[in-house]
Amino acid sequence: MISLTVNQKTYQLDVDPEMPLLWALREVIGLTGTKFGCGVAQCGACVVHLNGEAIRSCVTKCDRANHQNITTIEGLSMDNSHPLQLAWNEENVPQCGYCHSGQIMSAAVLLRENPNPTDRDIDDAMAGNICRCGTYPRIRKAIHLAAKLNGGKGNEK
């Protein structure tokens, strides 16, 4: 048995401890906001927070998450009230939208560590998240805006 606390709710799962967390979230628990893109830690579509740290759930075994706290995009806020969600909506970031659960979860950790990131900081922190549709210019803008909404200065350069 694996015990996962996801978005503050605890689940007892009868899964192979080797199973990547991604599939436990999507297929066993039914939280499909976290996406599969590559399965090999290359694209960031599957990023969730494990005890507040951004991890790639496609390569994180359930075993490692056992009895730990996980936050997924659904746990950030369902009413889009989180500053990153507000900013993403304000800047009309998504195209197909598939990458953005992972983008937002990565950005959340960036802003916690660095409330006023520069473009360079954003590039460094977000280079692990692929967007095939090419929404990168808007991701940058939205992170600056979220920093402002958070009370930061929204360091544009």
Partner 1 sequence: MEEISRRHFIASATTAGLALWLGLTSEGNLYKAIDSASVNFSPFILIEANGQITLFNTKPEIGQGTFQSFPALIAEELEVSLDQVIIKQTNGEYQFGNAQRSGGSASIRNSYLPMRKVGAAAREVLIKAAAKTWNVIESECFAQKGSITHAPTQRKLSYGSLIEEAAKFDLPENPKLKDPKDFKILGKMSKRPDIPLKTNGSAEFGIDAIVPGMLYAVVYRSPVIGATLVSYDATEVLKIPGVVKVGTAERIVGVYRYTGVAIIATSYWIANQAKEKLVTHWDNHGFDKFNTRDYEAHLRTLANQTGIVEKAVGNVDDVNLPPESYLEAFYETPIIAHHALEPLNCTAQVNGDRVEIWTSTQVSSAVTGKGAGDMHGQIGFTPENITLHSLFVGGGFGRRLSMDYIVEAVNVAKLVEQPVKVIWSREDCTQQGPFRPMTFSKLKGGISAQGALISFEHKVISPSLQQSRDSTFDPSKVDLAMMEGISEQAYEIPNMRNSYVRADLHIPISPWRSVTSSTVSFAQESFIDELAYQAKKDPMDFRLEHLKKTSDAKKVLLKLKELSNWETKLPKGSGRGVAVWEFFAGLGGQVVEVTCHKDKTITINRVIAVIDLGEVVNPDNVRNQMEGSVIMGLGAVMKGGINFVNGKVAEHNFYDSPLLRINEIPKIEVHILTDGGKVKGVGEPGLPPFAPALANAIFAASGKRFRKLPFELRL
Q: Summarize as ranges the residues that interact with partner 1 (CB under 8 A).
A: 15-16, 19-20, 23, 26-28, 30-40, 42-43, 45, 72-74, 76-80, 84-85, 88-89, 92-101, 104, 122-124, 126-127, 129-140
- Binding of ligand FES at residue 33 (CB under 6 A)? no
What is the sign, positive or negative, of the torsion defined by CA atoms of 76, 80, 83, 86? positive
- Binding of ligand FES at residue 71 (CB under 6 A)? no
Is 111 strand, coil or helix?
helix
With CB under 5 to 8 Å by kind, the binding choice for 27 among ligand FES, partner 1, none is partner 1
Q: State how far the Cα of 68 lies from the Cα of 90, in Å rounded to an integer.
A: 33
**Residue 76 · residue 84 · CB < 8 Å:** yes
Task: Return the exposure string of 36-71: e unless at least 16 CB atoms fall within 10 Å of the residue's CB, then b.
Answer: bbeeeeebbbbbbbbeeebbbbbbbbbeebeeebbb
With CB under 5 to 8 Å by kind, the binding choice for 46 among ligand FES, partner 1, none is ligand FES
With CB under 5 to 8 Å by kind, the binding choice for 23 among ligand FES, partner 1, none is partner 1
Nearest-approach distance from CB 56 to ligand FES, in angstroms: 4
